[in-house]
Structure 1
């Protein structure tokens, strides 16, 4: 079913589902930028850098990358090398896209499962970050969850290529 703008309910739902991870990635990018700015200023002016800046940078980068990954995967916005695209007919290109998306989604289930296991181990061992003592399992569970969602997005995208007219 489409509305007056020609957008289907599925497209609208996908847009809303992509909003939260996109806002999270943008917010974390802003925090990373602000932290880097103040770290450079404090380092230059007061010779007193932010002690935990390296640790926060690692955490922020993980949150930023893994929150954007499902959205980018669903939209098909990965960087691609299209040197061989002229060699593929339209039907072959569609078959290639089905295979790539289904294979990619299937293969991503394994790292999602492994990272979940590592998060369980970090939680059981009480692993924390070096300076801020943040439990490491939080970020590990987040990475595992977003990797799993990315796998589902790629599988759904592959199926969509199959059933699309």
Structure 2
């Protein structure tokens, strides 16, 4: 795979405190997503065993599974973007120079930044609306604004990560090398 690696920068040339802090936040957020998935897997196993052996599944397990899967999977997105581990199709760009690929990557990262910002904004508005309208899930009566509001930080972090990756790709595309 033809991946563009960030240029090595001396500690004296640039302060790495902000990127390091962002990376720690994104790693922590991704780990939280992993914990959510572990919890919903354990809950699903308990519910299935309870249903088969005792005729007593966990009430609303599918609702919890859907909410948890949405929140958990969204939590992985910022770290995937930060580490540049999204799926890429390099068949069309493998022959290009590093600078041209970096230019295309910059466009892709900026588009992702715009879309993640839009989704974070619209999710915030929907969470506010769902809270005002007292929307609840069907079985457990979980307020719908709660899981939706947990999506907002994931998409905001995704926008920040995409913005940082775009800046890195632009520096590579405009470099003298």
Would you call these one fold, judging by a TM-score over 0.5?
Answer: yes
Q: CA deviation at 1:118?
A: 1.0
Distance 1:10 1:144 in 2: 21
**Cα RMSD between the aligned structures?**
2.0
Residue 53 (str. 1) matches residue 49 (str. 2): no
Distance 1:90 1:132 in 2: 52
TM-aligned CA distance change 1:15 to 1:156, over 3 Å: closer
Gaps of at least 5 residues in structure 2 are 1-9
1:144 maps to which of 152, 156, 160: 152
1:37 maps to which of 45, 52, 55: 45
For 2:101, the equivalent position in structure 1 comes to 93
TM-score by length of 1: 0.87
Gaps of at least 5 residues in structure 1 are 3-7
Secondary structure at 1:102's aligned position in 2? helix
| Bigger RCO (CA 8 Å, 6+ sep) | 2
Give 1 or 2: higher helix fraction: 1
Distance 1:107 1:43 in 2: 41
TM-score by length of 2: 0.81
For 1:116, the equivalent position in structure 2 comes to 124
Secondary structure at 2:135's aligned position in 1? coil
Say how many residue pairs are matched: 161
